[in-house]
Structure 1
Amino acid sequence: MATTKKVLVAEDSSVIQNLTKRILQAQSYHIFAARNGRQVLDKLQQESFDIILLDINMPVMDGMECARQIRALGDSEKSATPIIAITGNAPNYSMEDFKLAGINEFLPKPLDFDRLVELVKEYTS
């Protein structure tokens, strides 16, 4: 049997974080949570993830800066982790902005959870 894929959900909204967690756990993913970009980087120091779901607007360190720092990590496996941005401010960013920060895809809020599951499956298979 395949190993359970590890998903890091970085989201400061506990409602969105809990919904995302429940939906992905139902798909047999192992979920880890962070509330800001600094916590994401701290967790990446300790372990690897198969994908990171990254809110763009978070306290302490926003998702764009966090993505840039992930891509700059010295560990080539961790720096290549797929990143899906989650944002309520999609009109403020272009796909080019996301790509320059190292983000693979983005999902606007309110989240389409079917699309979220689809993207997580795509990037972790």
Structure 2
Amino acid sequence: MVEQVGYCVSNNKQEVQDLRILIVDDEPFSRELVACMLENEGRQIDVAENGLEALLLLTQDRYSLVLVDYHMPVMDGCTLARMIRGNSAMINFEVPIIALTATVDASTVADCKSAGMNDCLAKPLSQNELEEMLKRWVPR
């Protein structure tokens, strides 16, 4: 189920229009939680519940960042990252991709990096971790 979660008003109209984030997670609660943390800052958020839905969105709109669950049915996060990185014609070929996972160990990080992801964040996320990751991967 692909949906746009929302759009909050910010004082900096240009920043809001430019910052679009895709959240890909099969768990509705996780999608909503991350979306709420990001919407508080006035960012445009889209969500998908699996990698196939995300690929559809990624071919239609340009994103500033993709947050993707490591473990998902239909298409997992690493497969999605490989599909994005493997298609240089895709408008989001170079978008930063961040894995969201309950287990951030050496093996998981290695899997994510080899798939073309830029970083990993451990679930549950904190607002501070999310903001630091945004500063690192979406410079303003």
TM over 0.5: yes
**Which residue, out of 11, 15, 22, partners 1:3?**
15
The reply to whether residue 25 of structure 1 matches residue 25 of structure 2 is no
Pair member with larger Rg: 2
More helix by share: 1
Give 1:77 shift.
4.6
Q: What's the TM-score once normalised by structure 1's chain length? A: 0.90
**Which residue, out of 76, 97, 104, partners 1:62?**
76
Q: After TM superposition, where is structure 1 displaced by more than 4 Å over at least 4 residues in a row?
A: none
The reply to whether residue 105 of structure 1 matches residue 119 of structure 2 is yes
Q: What's the TM-score once normalised by structure 2's chain length? A: 0.81
The AA in structure 2 aligned to 1:103 is M
Of all paired residues, the percent bearing the same amino acid is 32
* Structure 2, gaps ≥5 residues long: 1-11
CA contact (8 A) 2:84 2:90 kept: no
The reply to whether residue 74 of structure 1 matches residue 92 of structure 2 is no
- Note the aligned Cα RMSD (angstroms): 1.6
Structure 2 distance, partners of 1:94, 1:12, is 18
Structure 2 distance, partners of 1:92, 1:59, is 23
Corresponding residue of 1:114: 128
Paired residue total: 125
